[in-house]
Amino acid sequence: MVEVNAGRLPLLGVDWEALQEHEQGLFEFQTAAAIKLRTEADIVVGQLEVPAGNVSAGFAGLYSLWLRLDDDGQWTLIVNNEPDVWGTMHDPAKDLGEIRLEHSIVEGGKPRLTIEIEPPEGDTPGTLALSWGEHRWQTTVAGLTSQVR
């Protein structure tokens, strides 16, 4: 089973305004915890292997997820081994790795930060997508079963 928790960040407020003005570097949430990923099995997000048991052997993998915009306008997703941190407490020394994201602007958008995980179907990898307002960030995910929450 894989779970992702992003809180309930609305389109109004400090964090949404910060995203609208964000030009490069790590995006930090000022009023919320970092996005949290929990996986009971080893998975592959993008090209990055994300194992279960990173905090303690035999238990689920727990990670924080961070968005970063590089100098070329490319969004990436950082997977960090420190799961229970505030949205301003990223420690790069704890990064597992970074994944290139597809970013698009979608009409209509989502009124709150939402995360959708679609499990793989046959030989087609699944997807991990973050949506907030008209922004949508997406990458592939593999190693999932149908028990995605």
pLDDT digits (tens, 9 = 90+) for 106-144: 998 888 899 999 988 888 889 999 999 999 999 999 985
Q: Is the pLDDT of residue 12 over 50?
A: yes
Percent of the chain residues topping a pLDDT of 70 = 96
Q: With a cut of 80, say whether residue 56 has pLDDT above it.
A: yes
19-49 tens-digit pLDDT: 999 999 999 999 999 999 999 999 999 999 9
pLDDT at 81: 96
Q: CA torsion 95→99→87→126, rounded to 10°?
A: -120
